[in-house]
Structure 1
Amino acid sequence: MVGSTGRVTGRVGPGLVGEVMVFVAERRSTEAFLAYPAVPGDELPTGTAVVVIEYQPPRTVYVAPLG
């Protein structure tokens, strides 16, 4: 899961629980996860390409902008 890429579908930012769609290779599908910014204070608007930095089961990820 860590290192997977995805796209923000619900704004991620301080004080917000966002949503990202991430490609899960084991299942060969894209799935929705609750998301928090990996760097506190970062804001990631809808449509931003992201990479998963940390995964906390069952459906929470910490993400950073890709690139």
Structure 2
Amino acid sequence: MVGSTGRVTGRVGPGLVGEVMVHVPGRGGTEAFLAYPAVPGESLSPGTAVVVVEYQPPRTVYVAPLI
């Protein structure tokens, strides 16, 4: 999962549990994950392209903006 890319579908930010749709390698599609910002205090709006920095099974990821 680390290094996978996706898009924010529910605002990610301080004090929020956001949502992202992430392309899951080997499964041929995208799946929803609960998301937190990889950088404390950072906010990511819906539509922002992101990369998974950390994965905590079963469905939680920490994400950073894709540059």
Q: TM-score, normalised by structure 2?
A: 0.99
Q: Letter of the 2:49 partner, please give it.
A: A
Report how far residue 26 of structure 1 moved.
1.6
Q: Between the two proteins, what is the percent identity of the paired residues?
A: 84
Tell me the number of residue pairs that the alignment of Structure 1 and Structure 2 aligns.
67
Report how far residue 9 of structure 1 moved.
0.1
Q: TM-score, normalised by structure 1?
A: 0.99
Q: Where in structure 2 are there 5+ consecutive unaligned residues?
A: none
Report how far residue 21 of structure 1 moved.
0.1
Q: Distance in 2 between matches of 1:23 and 1:55?
A: 13
Moved over 2 A (4+): none
Q: Give the RMSD, CA atoms, in angstroms.
A: 0.4
Residues 6-43 of structure 1 deviation map (CA, whole Å, 9 limit, x = unaligned)? 00000000000000000001211100000000000000
